[in-house]
Structure 1
Amino acid sequence: MSALVETRTSGAPLLESRNRMRLVAAAPSLWRVVEPGGRVIGHLQEVAQAGSIRFRARRYNPAAHVFRDLGDFWNADDAVECLVFAR
């Protein structure tokens, strides 16, 4: 597994090449997770916890008009994978 704490100049976490999703900035430390076809499947939020960085997977629930947290992960790829498989 590659190190994922590196960031691009845009601040978005690097995703492994096996992950075809892309990240689009939505706010500071928040990115939309976008499928290759352009559909947004959720959000990735960078969260500081106890001196380290975690990545929170969030999905919008249109019926309740709220975001639902799916979990916090040690790397961005795991958080994005959670969004992909939690459809």
Structure 2
Amino acid sequence: MILTTQNGPAVGVRGVTLRAVSDKRWRVLDRTGRVIGHLRAEAQSTGIRFHAERFDLASARLRHLGAFWSADEAIDCLRYLR
């Protein structure tokens, strides 16, 4: 999956909506419009890794939940770790 929504419309992926925050980061919203986390793409020599991240209010920073080889897997991580 290639995600290129810098200034374009939101992209829907299996029950969620992705809104571009930057060229390599997307805000992930559930069906009701609630933010469930962030998806970050990182190019590596072996391919693109997708990182699932969630904002931690107590520490006021994004907390890394995992790195995956597909955006779908990273989004599933955000869904299941709610």
- The TM tier, using the shorter chain, reads 0.7 to 0.9
State the match for 2:55 in structure 1: 60
In the aligned structure 1, how far is the partner of 2:11 from the partner of 2:50? 9
Q: CA deviation at 1:10?
A: 2.7
Cα offset, 1:62, TM superposition? 0.3
1:29-84 per-residue CA deviation (whole Å, 9 max, x = no partner) reads 10000011110110000011224101000000001101110111000000000001
Unpaired segments of 5 or more residues in structure 2?
Answer: none
* Aligned match for 1:42, one of 37, 53, 57: 37
Unaligned runs of 5+ in 1: none
| TM-score (norm. length: structure 1) | 0.80
* Divergent runs of 4+, >4 A: 11-14
Identity of aligned residues (%): 42
> Which residue matches 1:27?
22
Separation in 2, partners of 1:79, 1:43: 9
Q: CA deviation at 1:8?
A: 5.6
Kindly indicate whether the alpha-carbon contact (under 8 Å) linking 2:25 and 2:40 is maintained by their aligned counterparts in 1. Answer: yes
